[in-house]
A = this chain, B = another copy of it.
Amino acid sequence: MKNTLGTNVKITLFGESHGEAIGAVLDGIAPGITVDSDFIANQLSLRRPVGQISTPRVETDKFEIISGVFEGKTTGTPVCIVIPNENTKSKDYGEISSKARPGHADFTAYEKYHGFEDYRGGGHFSGRITAGIVAAGAIAISALRQKGIFIGTHISRLAGIEDKAFSDIESEIFQLNNKEFAVIDNTKAEEMKQAILNAKSQGDSVGGVLETAVIGMPVGVGEPWFDSIESMLSHALFSIPAIKGVEFGAGFAIADMKGSEANDSFRMKNGLVTTLTNNNGGINGGISNGMPITFRCAVKPTPTISKAQQTIDYIKKEDTELTAKGRHDPCIVHRARVVVDSITAIVLCDILSQRFGTDWLVK
């Protein structure tokens, strides 16, 4: 198990879906960062299932910061945030305990942990664990904001429905951060939500693509070869359970371009170096070039669905069928948005610290 991520700024995750609590330890974050409980609570609310488009599991996410914060500010020592589990209906899951849910880690966890894993509700593999990332990430986001670095993510695509692309990143990411359902074009929100409800009514689920932009990153940050910005961010992003693809700048579309199209020409603008296009997503040679860092994550449709599915009993090693009864989400794309923002913030704090030191984020 590797539940610690980062070199100088580290996050450590713990917890199981139906255990006593889940949470995270954030270490290496600079002292003096204001810790705003309301902001953390609000970030957690963005991840929490809400309304008809999500699971009816009620998650209040009452978090406790049990270390590392003193008089409202980070101390520079590890911040441990604990989020107790509530309303965990283990019985719903009991019946299917040895039927592998397709698309889930039930079978692979059984093999890796020799049958000792806590299988209830996905155990340590539950998406619920991402709440720890969100709570810790809220502090990292606050740290970056005071240095003028801002992150925003929108639902670029959901069930095949496209949101508008970023056009005025500087203002759009602020608007996105205040939206519960993060689209640039609000008219798409209802369309997407309807697609989620349709999937739900069919006992099915839908996926999508999240697009993220980061502004304000200093030029010259990133640690090639192996700790390039792309390497560091993708490592973290692919830890989020449902993410199956990550692309920077033009991403896969760049593969079909000519060099003369793909290259981002440099131009001076108001004394600053800029590029005329941003197909490289603000990164050259793994190092930030001062343009917005942009990337997209493919989020798969929630694997837990109500429809009957072929599967195996992973203990008896025999074919069987599964009809899930637990509470589940017909879509997690909108909920994953804040997880992406959060882990991105933690990784950027780490990358910045490598060149500038952990002191750099001290206010």
Contact = CB atoms under 8 A, between A and B. Distances in A.
Copies of this polypeptide in the complex: 4
Interface in A210-252: 219-228, 230-232, 234-236, 238-239, 241, 243-252
Interface stretch (A137-145, A169-177, A183-191, A260-268): A260-268
Nearest to A304: B259
Interface string A172-215: 00000000000000000000000000010010111111000000
A149 interface: no
Nearest to A269: B319
Nearest to A125: B285
A305 interface: yes
A289 interface: yes
Is chain A's binding surface mostly helix, strand, loop or mixed? Answer: mixed
A359 B259 CA distance: 33
A357 B356 CA distance: 4
A231 B239 contact: yes
Interface string A301-314: 11111010111101
Contacts of A300: 254-255, 257, 262, 279-280
Given A267-B310, A267-B312, 17 more contacts: A8-B354, A12-B25, A12-B27, A13-B225, A14-B25, A14-B68, A15-B78, A20-B67, A25-B25, A224-B239, A231-B238, A238-B248, A244-B250, A244-B251, A259-B304, A263-B309, A356-B356
Nearest to A235: B235
A14 B66 contact: yes
Contact of A284 (B105, B159, B221): B105
Given A281-B244, A310-B276, A116 B235 contact: no
Contacts of A258: 199, 202, 204-206, 301
A281 B68 CA distance: 28
A100 interface: yes
A317 B256 CA distance: 32
A40 interface: no
Interface residues of A, number: 156
A121 to B, nearest CB: 12
A326 interface: no
A262 B67 contact: no
Given A248-B245, A354-B2, A319 B268 contact: yes
A4 B263 contact: no
